[in-house]
């Protein structure tokens, strides 16, 4: 098991081996004053998260958070998110991370969506990012929040920021892709940012209701 970094607050583990996602979640939660030190699962465990087999983002997020809390003994945060494209019947949706199979890269998945959308006119390229974020403890406490970011699919990928489908998603009210925004701009409007800010509010309310101790 990896040596745990010196704590700068209450350690909370992100139930993902994706360090880019863990950094993004940590960055979003920094402004929420929860007193957390957000760690990647890779920082504290050699375990691999179970496969995502549920049929909703919420169920997948809760399952991963429960697993990580039990596996590490730490409070855990997990999210499940994806891109829903209206012209593709909501695909890739719940399978966004597994679109084209386990060996595909972010670039492969983006290129495939663009290919599938090649004949779709501008007025029919509506899409949204959807995220469910969950918090769980080894003692069985659980909280869940969801966030959505509406937008459209661009004609070509553009930008180098973010990850996943960010280079082809143009958020509503913007003239550039999510991957062309600064981190702060992205967090302010993204599905993950909205879900995590709501989750932080629920965590604070839960902590206040529980009281000290």
Q: Annotated catalytic sites, by residue?
A: 80
Q: Where on the phi/psi map is residue 101: left (φ > 0), alpha (ψ -120 to 50), or beta?
A: left
List alpha helices for 31-151, DSSP H.
41-44, 57-72, 106-116
Tell me the C-alpha distance between 49 and 130, whole Å.
21
φ, ψ dihedrals at 37, nearest 5° = -105, 110
Tell me the C-alpha distance between 202 and 197, whole Å.
9
The residues facing 114 across adjacent strands are none
Radius of gyration of the chain (CA): 17
Chain centre to alpha carbon of residue 33: 20
Burial label, 151 (beta-carbon count in 10 A; 0-12, 13-18, 19+): buried
* 95 DSSP 8-state letter: G
Residue 150 host element (H or E): strand 142-153
Residue 36 host element (H or E): strand 36-40
């Amino acid at each position: 098991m990896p040596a745990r970094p010196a704590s700068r607050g209450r350690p909370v583990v992100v139930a993902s081996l994706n360090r880019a996602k863990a950094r993004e979640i940590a960055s979003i939660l920094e402004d929420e004053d929860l007193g957390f030190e957000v760690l990647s699962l890779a920082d504290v465990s050699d375990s691999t998260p179970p496969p995502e087999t549920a049929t909703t983002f919420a169920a997948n997020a809760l399952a991963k958070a429960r697993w990580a809390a039990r596996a590490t003994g730490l409070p855990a945060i997990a999210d499940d998110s994806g891109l829903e494209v209206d012209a593709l019947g909501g695909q890739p949706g719940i399978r966004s991370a597994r679109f084209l199979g386990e060996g595909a890269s972010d670039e492969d998945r983006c290129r495939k969506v663009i290919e599938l959308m090649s004949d779709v006119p501008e007025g029919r390229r509506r899409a949204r990012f959807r995220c469910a974020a969950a918090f769980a403890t080894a003692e069985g406490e659980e909280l869940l929040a969801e966030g959505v970011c509406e937008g459209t699919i661009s004609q070509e990928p553009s930008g180098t920021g973010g990850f996943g489908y960010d280079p082809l998603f143009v958020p509503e009210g913007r003239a550039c892709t999510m991957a062309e925004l600064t981190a702060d701009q992205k967090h302010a409007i993204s599905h993950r940012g909205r879900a995590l800010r709501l989750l932080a509010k629920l965590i604070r309310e839960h902590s206040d209701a529980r009281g000290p101790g």
